[in-house]
């Protein structure tokens, strides 16, 4: 059913999906047919493209896309004269409109429900007949696979794992015993859910393992990227709430709680027992220390280490600016001696005050 | 055998495991039965909990756990009046006592020795009859699997790999040719042991590969986290000594040596030929440059880049403090110009000295 | 055919491979037989070793290697007297000479072309008869595997994936639908090529997925490390050009382009739509922000966050220096208040100027 659509039908599809919340205005021939989405630079007459990042304005001005979603401000800046062959779809939430349109145009994989003959499924596992179990999948004792679930080649689903309806595991996802994945989730290859948290107590110069007896509970509509690892709780559970989006190679320690609708970019590390609020955004390669709490609606820049609680929503950053190596060498040395610089300023201030006093006499 | 125990029996179990090294004092009814461990906030009357981090004192004060391990100082602060229904187990090494108790209570997986019919085992591999080889495992030519080893579903054990007794590989661990894993190790899903180190020489604008002909040698009682990668040596071997604990998504380059009983938290990167001492602790997302040496008993903070040798044990840190983005913008600009600030201070000092001299005349 | 060689024959092999571009001079008995390569400290009389890093000069001075490649300067410094039993191979590009020699000496794996009986290959896949398909591999509909390709145990090759000649996938590599891997590539275990990019638009407090419809195109002679993830493009493709070398646990976001012959060390994160030039070197755990461009021949230090375009080739760094924790605490506090330090300097300058003016009257 998805595939080429007129711009008019595309707009209707977006309206249906959004409850008409976006309110786009179409300038040009709405009967033109759109077959796919494409970047500004390469889009042809049957493609939809979008402009959201001002960096790409010059590509938008020159695009040969059949239709272009953009904000009123961008339309005014680029096409005020009206001289474009491109149908303009003017919408303040241009990127969001584009997202829904792209979903309407996206080809859907055809899946054949059933269990590949090479899958190894424990007889006690309950698998809905509308689920698809790929080749060389292992489903262990007591596993429960709901309607419409797709399990890609080579996945491992541990003992008593529950996977709710319409969730898709790409090939080679591993889920340890006792974990739960909600409905309509998407999990990418190499993700590991439920490995042991890193818990050891010191004893006579060596480490004693704390058995990790909790699980991982993942809500609905969660996306988990390739190679991401989410550890099981030490005692209680690690919890990923509904609608959280997690990119690749993210590490989430035991007993963390990630609030609903938060987004976590690639290479982020979150140490154990951290609590991330709802609707937070953690930039790529940021690092969250253990046992801390981050307020709802907080945004953390990429490459920032969060070492204590964030009590108030806001936009936080801690990045050493990069520069020519020679310049860095000079500055880094001074950085080690900031306290000496301050001391010299103090002495200067004292000297000046003394003189002032002397000359006032 | 593990399962519900009286507090008295639990204490005996801890004493046996520790040679009575911890010396706990029990306050309250030692005949009470404990079935499991649980966090302070949710523990019920049949659960053991612990207090080690002062952040959680208020939860300890209100816990409904059947038994609570804590230090004398915490006991005094919270329960001096004696009015608690909770049995108190007072021990200076509260967390360590708890670790041993949790091990005594932990349910043990039942494993059935033998080889899953779907495993692909080379006829030349030697597999002890008490080992468990899971479904869809591949064991290549010359592999050697000792007594009591458990190999989870979908693992790959390369040519001439040796795995010593009682080690457990969770599903989907990959071990390249010629590597060795010691006894009683635990390796988590997605770990890759023995991939090529990153060794290339430049030649006419391209890269020439240095064949990586060493191996990885892993000692006894090592734990390796999910998605962790340990590269084989370029010529000599990469060595992980006994008792090292490695968290998830750690990268250890070729020819590193990690000293015994060191602990490496998640997302750490250790570049090639680095030597980490014994009993070191590397915080999450810290980064260790290649070819450097870190002294025994060194602690490195999370998110710290170690760019030269650490000759003396101690606690080292290098983290850009995070702050409101606006504040960061202001400070980061100044950071690029520390040398100018110093120059201005110098000029001020010179001017003042000159004046002093002049006014002294 | 590879194996023990006289030093003379080894030199000829290097000359053949390099078109005599390296020009080494041999001092000593060139008929001596070399069987393998080894590190300076452990090399025996039948081994070749090398000196490239001045840190290891003392090991070179004491080496018992049969032959040693080193620069003229190192030869002069260490062996000016001529008193060594070691055959010296003097070459300015010592490490490169060593690389080619090591390749000549490296034992070659024997592979038997054909398809393991446990592999699951879709009938529509085209597999060259000289390719080797390991056990428990899955090759999906329309996959195309060229001559001499080796696919290790448990790999997943998605729909319509093309793998060109002589490429080797180590066990457990996952390649999503529609991606292409060039000729003579080497991909390590756990790598994931073609997972969805991280693209979401906000809508009413939740995230709307942008379907990721591009692919990953990988050139020839590319090496990809263990656990590395390269995301498919959102619309256009993610492109890795020829000769790029990528270490372990690197994350490359959607629509990135990595220029030919660039080298990317372990744990690097490159956010979406970044363009890395040709012959760049990204140090371990560096982080490249999305949508930025880095000039050809740029070198980025490890642990450096690149937050804006690099227009000019050069060596760039941004690392917070590490120090004793106590010292760091003091300095980090001041770092938050650099603007106050500057303000105090300003005030001092103003005061001094005012006095100067006053005293000039």
- pLDDT for B2 equals 60
* Of the ranges B81-85, B108-112, B267-271, the best mean pLDDT one: B267-271
Alpha-carbon gap: B339 to the closest alpha carbon of chain C (Å)? 12
Phi, psi for residue C163 in degrees, rounded to 5: -125, 120
> Which of C140, C317, C334 is the closest to A339 by Cβ?
C334
Q: Contact A49/A70 with Cβ under 8 angstroms?
A: no
Question: Rounded distance, CA C307 to CA C325, Å?
Answer: 27
Neighbours of C, requiring at least 3 CB pairs below 8 Å, are: A, B
Work out the angle between the directed axes of helices B325-335 and B338-360 (0-180°, nearest 10): 60
Going by pLDDT thresholds of 50, 70 and 90, the confidence category of residue B83 is: confident
Question: Rounded distance, CA C41 to CA A241, Å?
Answer: 54
Residue A2 clears pLDDT 80, i.e. is over it: no
Question: Rounded distance, CA C359 to CA A55, Å?
Answer: 55
- pLDDT for B361 equals 65
Looking at A310-314, C87-91, C277-281, C339-343, which range is the least confident one? C339-343
Question: Rounded distance, CA C209 to CA A357, Å?
Answer: 69
Residue B168 clears pLDDT 50, i.e. is over it: yes
Spell out which residues of chain B touch residue C303, defining contact as CB-CB under 8 Å.
287, 305, 307
Subunit contact C319:B307, Cβ cutoff 8 A: yes
Subunit contact A189:C176, Cβ cutoff 8 A: yes
Q: Average the pLDDT over C1-16 and give the result.
A: 89
* Residue among B122, B170, B188, B254 flagged as catalytic: B254
Q: Compare all CA atoms of chain A with the CA of C310 and give the residue at the minimum distance.
A: A323
Residue B82 clears pLDDT 90, i.e. is over it: no
- pLDDT for A1 equals 46
- pLDDT for B264 equals 98
Q: Contact B210/A157 with Cβ under 8 angstroms?
A: no
| Closest-CA residue to B246 (of B211, B200, B280, B205) | B280
Work out the angle between the directed axes of helices B338-360 and A325-335 (0-180°, nearest 10): 60
- pLDDT for C2 equals 60
List Cβ neighbours of A254 (8 Å cut-off, separation of 6 or more).
Answer: A196, A197, A198, A199, A212, A214, A231, A232, A233, A234, A238, A272, A273
Question: Rounded distance, CA C14 to CA B354, Å?
Answer: 67
- pLDDT for C46 equals 96
Residue B1 clears pLDDT 60, i.e. is over it: no
> Which of B95, B338, B355 is the closest to A331 by Cβ?
B338
- Of B75 and A82, which is predicted with more confidence? B75
pTM above 0.90, yes or no: yes
Question: Rounded distance, CA A228 to CA B174, Å?
Answer: 17
pLDDT digits (tens, 9 = 90+) for A167-208: 999 999 999 999 999 999 999 999 999 999 999 999 999 999
List Cβ neighbours of B331 (8 Å cut-off, separation of 6 or more).
Answer: B323, C335, C336, C337, C338, C339
Going by pLDDT thresholds of 50, 70 and 90, the confidence category of residue C203 is: very high
Q: Average the pLDDT over B194-204 and give the result.
A: 97
Q: Average the pLDDT over B212-225 and give the result.
A: 98
- pLDDT for A110 equals 81
Looking at A82-86, B60-64, C201-205, which range is the least confident one? A82-86
- Residue A254 annotated among the catalytic residues of the structure: yes
Q: Compare all CA atoms of chain C with the CA of B351 and give the residue at the minimum distance.
A: C352
* Residue among A76, A170, A188, A254 flagged as catalytic: A254
Asked if C118 has any chain B CB less than 8 Å from its own CB, the reply is yes
As a whole number, the mean pLDDT across chain B is: 95
Spell out which residues of chain C touch residue B210, defining contact as CB-CB under 8 Å.
98-99, 102
| Closest-CA residue to A30 (of A2, A65, A5) | A5
Q: Contact B225/B242 with Cβ under 8 angstroms?
A: no
Q: Compare all CA atoms of chain C with the CA of B235 and give the residue at the minimum distance.
A: C38
Q: Average the pLDDT over C327-336 and give the result.
A: 92
Question: Rounded distance, CA B105 to CA B108, Å?
Answer: 9
Subunit contact B319:A304, Cβ cutoff 8 A: no
pLDDT digits (tens, 9 = 90+) for C66-119: 999 999 999 999 998 877 889 999 999 999 999 999 999 998 878 899 999 999
Q: Contact B271/B231 with Cβ under 8 angstroms?
A: no
Residue A287 clears pLDDT 70, i.e. is over it: yes
As a whole number, the mean pLDDT across chain C is: 95
Looking at A107-111, A218-222, A337-341, which range is the least confident one? A107-111
Helix locations, chain B, DSSP H: 7-18, 57-61, 72-79, 94-105, 325-335, 338-360
Question: Rounded distance, CA C122 to CA C71, Å?
Answer: 54
Subunit contact C320:B315, Cβ cutoff 8 A: no
Residue A32 clears pLDDT 80, i.e. is over it: yes
Alpha-carbon gap: C273 to the closest alpha carbon of chain A (Å)? 11
Looking at A167-181, A288-302, C41-55, which range is the least confident one? C41-55
- pLDDT for B109 equals 77
Subunit contact B138:C53, Cβ cutoff 8 A: no
Alpha-carbon gap: C68 to the closest alpha carbon of chain A (Å)? 33
The span from the first CA to the last CA of chain B, in angstroms, equals 93
Q: Compare all CA atoms of chain A with the CA of C118 and give the residue at the minimum distance.
A: A118
Check residue A132 and report its DSSP letter.
Answer: E
> Which of A116, A248, A321 is the closest to C251 by Cβ?
A248
Asked if A336 has any chain C CB less than 8 Å from its own CB, the reply is yes
pLDDT digits (tens, 9 = 90+) for C284-322: 999 999 999 999 999 999 999 999 999 999 999 999 999
ipTM score: 0.96
Grouping H, G, I as helix, E, B as strand and the rest as coil, residue C238 is strand
Helix locations, B47-181, DSSP H: 57-61, 72-79, 94-105
Asked if C320 has any chain B CB less than 8 Å from its own CB, the reply is yes
Residue A361 clears pLDDT 80, i.e. is over it: no
Tell me the CA distances in angstroms from B253 to B216, B222, B295, B301, one per residue in order: 10, 17, 18, 20
Name the B residues in 138-157 with CB < 8 Å from any A CB: 152-154
Q: Contact A38/A142 with Cβ under 8 angstroms?
A: no
- pLDDT for C1 equals 46
Residue A17 clears pLDDT 90, i.e. is over it: yes
Residue C353 clears pLDDT 70, i.e. is over it: yes
Residue C361 clears pLDDT 70, i.e. is over it: no
Which pairing describes strands B5-6 and B33-34: parallel, antiparallel, or unpaired? antiparallel
As a whole number, the mean pLDDT across chain A is: 95
What proportion of chain C, given as a percentage, has pLDDT over 90?
89
Q: Average the pLDDT over C14-21 and give the result.
A: 96
Residue A355 clears pLDDT 90, i.e. is over it: no
- pLDDT for C306 equals 98
Spell out which residues of chain A touch residue B349, defining contact as CB-CB under 8 Å.
344, 348
pLDDT digits (tens, 9 = 90+) for A198-252: 999 999 999 999 999 999 999 999 999 999 999 999 999 999 999 999 999 999 9
Asked if C211 has any chain A CB less than 8 Å from its own CB, the reply is yes
Residue C123 clears pLDDT 90, i.e. is over it: yes
Helix locations, A19-140, DSSP H: 57-61, 72-79, 94-105
pLDDT digits (tens, 9 = 90+) for A63-96: 999 999 999 999 999 998 877 889 999 999 999 9
> Which of B226, B321, B338 is the closest to A192 by Cβ?
B226
Name the C residues in 155-174 with CB < 8 Å from any A CB: 156, 158, 172, 174
């Amino acid at each position: 059913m998805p595939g080429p659509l007129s711009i008019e039908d595309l707009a209707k599809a977006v309206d249906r999906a959004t409850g008409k919340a976006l309110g786009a205005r179409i300038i040009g021939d709405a009967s033109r047919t759109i077959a796919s989405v494409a970047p500004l630079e390469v889009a042809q007459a049957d493609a939809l493209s979008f402009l959201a990042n001002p960096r790409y304005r010059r590509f938008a001005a020159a695009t040969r896309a059949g239709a272009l979603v953009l904000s009123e401000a961008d339309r005014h800046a680029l096409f005020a004269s009206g001289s474009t062959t491109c149908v303009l779809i003017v919408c303040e939430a241009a990127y969001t409109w584009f997202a829904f349109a792209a979903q309407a145009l996206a080809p859907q994989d055809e899946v054949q429900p059933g269990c590949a003959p090479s899958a190894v499924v424990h007889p006690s596992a309950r698998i809905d007949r509308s689920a698809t179990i790929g080749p060389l999948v292992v489903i262990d004792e007591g596993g429960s696979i709901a309607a419409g679930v797709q399990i890609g080649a080579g996945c491992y689903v541990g003992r008593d794992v529950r996977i709710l309806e319409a969730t898709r595991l790409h090939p080679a996802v591993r889920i340890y015993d006792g974990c739960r994945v909600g409905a309509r989730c998407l999990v990418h290859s190499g993700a590991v859910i439920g490995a042991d948290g890193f818990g050891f107590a010191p004893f006579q110069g060596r480490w004693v393992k704390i058995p990790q007896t909790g699980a991982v509970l993942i809500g609905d509509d969660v996306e988990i990227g390739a190679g991401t690892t989410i550890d099981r709780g030490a005692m209680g559970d690690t919890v990923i709430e509904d609608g959280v989006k997690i990119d690749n190679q993210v590490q989430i320690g035991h007993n963390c709680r990630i609030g609903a609708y938060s987004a976590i970019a690639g290479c982020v590390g979150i140490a154990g027992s951290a609590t991330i609020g709802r609707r937070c955004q953690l930039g790529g390669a940021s690092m969250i220390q253990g046992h801390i709490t981050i307020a709802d609606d907080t945004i953390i820049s990429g490459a920032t280490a969060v070492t204590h609680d964030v009590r108030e929503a806001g936009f936080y950053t801690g990045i050493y600016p990069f520069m020519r190596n020679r310049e860095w060498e000079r500055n880094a040395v001074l950085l080690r001696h900031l306290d000496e610089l301050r001391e010299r300023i103090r002495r200067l201030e004292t000297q000046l005050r003394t003189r002032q006093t002397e000359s006032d006499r």
